[in-house]
Amino acid sequence: MTARVLLIACLLGVPSIGAGQAPATQKPSAASRPKAAARPSFAQVSADAARARTAGNVDDAIALYRRAVGMRPGWDEGQWYLGSLLYEKGKVAEAKAAFAQVLRVHADHAAALAMSGLCEFQLGNHDTALRLLLRSRQLNIQRSPEIATVVRYHAGILLTRFGEYEAGNQVLTEMASRGEESPQAYEAFGLNVLRMPILPSEIPPAETSRVELAGRAGFAMAARHLPQARGLLEQLVAVHGKTPHVHYVWGVFLLAEDPPRAIDAFKREIEVSPSHVPARLQIAAELVKQGDPAAARPWAEQAVAIDPQAFGPRLALGQVLLGLGESAPAIAELEQAVRLAPGSPQTHYMLAVAYQRAGRTSDAERERATFTRLSSPDAGAGTGVPRP
């Protein structure tokens, strides 16, 4: 190519290719291109997540676990740790979603149920929270001691919140028997002893000292620290004797050692709280125990009149009538108690006794079988609590 032609070609932007010449522009070969960074595998990301969690780098661990479960959504262990870390950071709604992923595969995962219940509590969904917490207890959350402690507390305060005072006291008593003493435990016991259907966060400032004193007394009773409990209860009665339920708890304390004084305390409670059903039931039960069902009858009848839709008064009156030899009315009351609380083993047992005395053998056998089933460790106790 002549110099003139070459010059014109350059000015026109036309590439010139002479004999034996390479193109002016040439794509790099595949071998010469820079290699893209290899994407980390699931194994690498999950291992990094575990290392960050172990080192206490919560934010990094959350990010890595998110990435890992994104790569493998069915990784239950990763969903569990992600939920736990999110809960620790106060991201409760996101934690709840992670635990829900675990429960989709393992519906009876006690720890995931417990943590879901705690999330629902934080979100203000108290009905759902209680159901999940009780279910986790039924599935033996005690195998996870740290979670079980938190579950006990929250289940106890929620049962009190919903007016299930006896059931709440049973759960809180587990705290006392394990020595889980704290200001929070005092609050929980205080609300339960005084039968205040609120949460600890809702205690009015004016009630703080009264709740704390009642709670210390209730904790001492539950822990079987009897001399301490006596002193605290005497102080509670002296200072707050006009407060509902104070004389009642004093009567409960006295029942084992001084039944006559206990009955007097229950009667005093009825003076303070004229519609107090538990005090009437305690009097009726003690009189039946002493072999005087006739004296117990009016107390049981009053309890039924005050709260006819509770199974406890029906059960008490049925037992009283059975003690008086009045089988037919006793059966009627006990059948009503069973309808009101089909999950209560005691009601089925007493109905079996009544049927047997009335000669209704097949009915008695059926009720005994139900009692045996409900009393077994595998029964569905804890998923719902009947009112007394």
Indicate the average pLDDT of the chain: 89
Interval 206-221: pLDDT, tens? 999 999 999 999 999 9
Label residue 376 by pLDDT band (50, 70, 90).
confident
Terminal C-alpha separation, the chain = 111
> How confident is the model at residue 39, as a pLDDT?
85
Residues 135, 115 contacting (CB under 8 angstroms): no
pLDDT at residue 387 greater than cutoff 60? no
pLDDT for the residue numbered 296: 98
- 42-107 matches 320-388 in fold: yes
Report domain 42-107's class: mainly alpha
Q: Is the pLDDT of residue 32 over 60?
A: no
Residue ranges per structural domain of the chain = 42-107, 320-388
Residue range 320-388, CATH number: 1.25.40
Residue count (the chain): 388
Answer yes or no: are the C-beta atoms of 183 and 159 closer than 8 Å. no
pLDDT over threshold 80, residue 308: yes
Contacts for 259-262: CB closer than 8 Å, 24+ residues apart:
259/286, 259/290, 262/286
Higher pLDDT, 70 or 17: 70
Q: What is the pLDDT of residues 103-146, one digit of tens each?
A: 999 999 999 999 999 999 999 999 999 999 999 999 989 888 99
pTM: 0.83
Residue 378's pLDDT is: 58
Residue carrying the six token digits 């059931």: 167
pLDDT band, very low/low/confident/very high, at 53 (cuts 50, 70, 90): very high
- Give the count of alpha carbons within 13 A of 222, CB side only: 28
Of 103, 45, 108, 39, nearest to 72 by C-alpha is: 45
CA–CA separation, 259 vs 257, rounded Å?
Answer: 6
Q: Are 193 and 215 in contact (CB under 8 A)?
A: yes
For 190-202, what is the mean pLDDT? 98
